[in-house]
Amino acid sequence: MLYERYLRAYAEQFRKTDRNMWNYEDGCVLIGLRAMYQATGDNFYLNALRSFTDRYIEVDGNIRNYVAAEYNLDYIPAGCVLYTLYDKTCEPRYRKAIETLEEQLRHQPRTPCGSFWHKAIYPNQVWLDGLYMGLPFHANYAIRFGDESALDDIMLQFRNARKYLYDEKTWLYYHAWNETKDVFWADPKTGLSPNFWTRAIGWYLMALADIYGMIPDNRTDLIDEMAALWKEAIDGMLRWQEKDSGLFYQLPALPNEKRNYLETSGSLMVAYSLLKGARLDVLTEPEYRAAGEKILVGIELRKFTVHDGKVELHGICKGAGLGPTGNLRRNGTVDYYLSEDVVHDEQKGVGVCMMAYAEYLQAKQAGALTDDFPKVEIFNKEYDPIMPGDPAFIAFEKDRAENAANKTR
């Protein structure tokens, strides 16, 4: 099948890669490899994960080229896989590396309202990205090693995001907020960045999804509050889902902006959150699972291409951020977000593709896929995905429209 063949080929190449730095981009792929291992039981994915990670976690547990003094939340998410490797091997080096990253979070600078700074170079700034970068690792540590009071701190940071970054008109979250309102990109009255960015909202949705699954059953207060935030945020995003493709624009609230484009990584993040929410019985209505499946089909139809016999995943925003001071180009405007490079096979897109597809596989194994929606693998033709305009795609769209019409009669 196209997804599995693409992801397996990517993993084989990834395990041999050495970028000489511990980073969140590769962390996305590591988390994706773990998800594929958990969904399939195939040791190929676990071995790829360990082959890559062991180049960075030294025998004594030090993390190669990690600099704690930067207080960079982007260093944290790759550490989520260390829990899995420690469980599998009981090797002390993984536990030491876990402690190193948690020690950073113990001293991470905070805004006056109590949320982590995104990095030391971003003072008093809360980015949606940061909730995913730091909080799932922090929650896992708290639950495993006996400091469940940290869960209340984590919940505070989600509350802060809801209070300060949520927009009641669009039902979307702004990318970032500067509590002191003194950075060049921030609105001087609200402290907010100017726009909504799909991938930023995707990071937030994935943070909710991953932490929700860890909360102990006796913390019904946190379970209920987090489920409400999750459903509200998903409902907000689904208002902006592009009808034909099922995907989301780089700037979701500006579908009529001519330069805007359907972005792959953020769309897959939403798919992951939808499918995991359905599996965990948070998003119980069948429309949620169907929306997640539709994204995966849309990605297969529109974002996979074949070049020189190799499948590539396209439409991934290489990166977008705000500042720091001195980098005035990263100002959060429409022009800025639409000026960043759009690339293929980049880690953030591929890693989240693994996560979303792993959720699809779990739903398939459980017999929980939407009955009236096409299964993703219906489109697989060796390494030749069906593209819009192909007769097979046109026939599929026609059949789906006819089936929908028949149901309303």
Which two three-digit tokens encode residue 334? 């429409």
The region, left, alpha or beta by phi > 0 then psi within -120 to 50, assigned to residue 82 is alpha
The whole-angstrom separation of Cα 75 and Cα 72 is 6
- Confirm whether 129 is a catalytic residue: yes
| Class of residue 20 by CB neighbours under 10 A (exposed 0-12, middle 13-18, buried 19+) | exposed
The whole-angstrom separation of Cα 94 and Cα 81 is 9
Cβ atoms of 88 and 46 within 8 Å: the answer is yes
Q: Cα 282–315–247 angle (5° rounding)? A: 35
Q: What is the full DSSP assignment across 76-129?
A: SGGGHHHHHHHHHH--HHHHHHHHHHHHHHHH--B-TTSPBPS-TTSTTEEEHH
Backbone phi and psi for residue 125, each to the nearest 5 degrees, phi listed first: -115, 130
Backbone phi and psi for residue 367, each to the nearest 5 degrees, phi listed first: 70, 30
Number of Cα atoms under 13 Å in the Cβ half of residue 321? 15
Write the CB contacts of 2 (distance below 8 Å, at least 6 apart in sequence): 300, 304, 311, 377, 379, 380, 381, 383, 385
Number of Cα atoms under 13 Å in the Cβ half of residue 384? 5
Q: Which of 26, 129, 153, 210 is catalytic?
A: 129
Residue 267: which H helix or E strand, with range? helix 264-279
Hunting for tokens 């876990």 — which residue is that? 98
Distances from the Cα of 52 to the Cα of 87, 119, 221, 241, angstroms: 17, 25, 39, 35
Write the CB contacts of 167 (distance below 8 Å, at least 6 apart in sequence): 173, 174, 196
Catalytically annotated residues: 129
